Amino acid sequence: MTDYVGLIAAPDVQTSWPALLRGSGVACLHFTHLDETQQRHGLSGHVPRKGLRTVIHADGGAAHWQCLRVQDKKLVGDTERRERKLVKDYGALTFRLRSDRPREDLEELIRLKRAQYLRTGHPGAPLFDERYAGLLQHLLDNPSPSCESVLSTLTVGSHLVAAHLGMVANGVLHYWFPVYDEAFSAYSPGRILFRQVLLAASGQGIRTIDRGEGDTQAKRDFATESHLYFRGLVSTGMQGRLLEWAQRVEWRLTNQSR
């Protein structure tokens, strides 16, 4: 469920996985999404994967979009054309960076996301577990000044065309759960939603939109920079080594059965 793993600490703090595990009382840890900046703390991993993000123009989202018009005229023109076509076919669009009916919209986001997972062959995705779905509701109901859950929506009439639930912290919007109604796929609603989020972001103190791990065309369309994530399996002590061995055996058997 997380797009980031790492130690929350001052930049000069140095440690290691064994020391961190011993201090936490954890014998064995399997992690993914360890950001490359964690290396400054002495924490590293394996199997690097690219992550993409959009650093918004200093003059705001509108200025950023105009710069993008020069850099990628085809992308901007096509996105705006599809948005106009959507309005022509279905009526005026309504965008809200923060939903005015978060409980109902979150339920619809989860329904659409589950349908997407089934279409793309991920029937075991976390959101099929009600505990994880409940976590999203909990985050939405309990905002913190330093880390807020934000549910954004794009609608025509009363119909949800696209939505996104993410977390905002320190000026960064972590683009976590984007989804759209498949019935509107011809209009590229994900792109339209991202454009609207981009235009509204700087007015809400958001300076960067982080798309998390993965290098896809949808993420590359608006990316301005990349960074690396790592994964790994670490342990300490005899119990930890036994757990690590058992985990590796389980992975091997699972891969052989596929």
Q: Indicate whether 38 and 82 sit together in one domain.
A: no
Banded model confidence at residue 258, pLDDT cuts 50, 70, 90:
low
Looking at the domain assignment, is residue 3 inside a domain?
no
What pLDDT shows up at residue 243?
96
Say if residue 85 is in the same domain as residue 180: yes
47 and 62, same domain (yes or no): no
Can you give the pTM of this predicted structure? 0.90
Do both 175 and 242 map to the same domain? no
Question: The domain containing residue 27 runs over which residues?
Answer: 17-52+228-257
The verdict on 194 and 102 lying in the same domain is yes
Q: Is 212 within the bounds of a domain? A: no
Residue 238 to residue 119: CA distance in whole angstroms: 43
| The predicted structure's pLDDT at residue 100 | 94
- Do 128 and 156 lie in one domain? The reply is yes
Domain membership flag for residue 202: yes
Q: What mean pLDDT value characterizes the chain?
A: 94
Neighbours of 155 (CB within 10 A): 18
Co-location of 82 and 193 in the same domain: yes
- Domain with residue 123: its CATH number is 3.40.630.30
Q: What is the pLDDT of residue 256?
A: 82
Question: Per-residue DSSP letters for 62-84?
Answer: HHHHHHHHHH-HHHHHHHHHHHH
Percentage of the chain beyond pLDDT 70 is 100
Q: Helix, strand, coil: what percent of the chain each, to 5? A: 50, 30, 25
Nearest to 96 by CA among 174, 151, 157: 151
The mean pLDDT of 42-60, rounded to a whole number, is 95
Distance CA 225, CA 215 (A): 12
Taking residues 5-13, report their average pLDDT. Answer: 93
Q: What are phi and psi of 64, to 5 degrees?
A: -60, -45
The 10s digit of each residue's pLDDT in 83-137 is: 999 999 999 999 999 999 999 999 999 999 999 999 999 988 999 999 999 999 9
Question: What is residue 250's DSSP assignment?
Answer: H
Domains identified in the chain, total number: 2
Tens of pLDDT, residues 185-201 = 999 999 999 999 999 99
Instruction: Let me know whether 201 and 176 are in one domain.
Output: yes
Q: Which SS3 state, helix, strand or coil, does residue 108 take? A: helix
Q: Is the residue at 218 inside a domain? A: no
Same-domain status, 118 and 62: yes
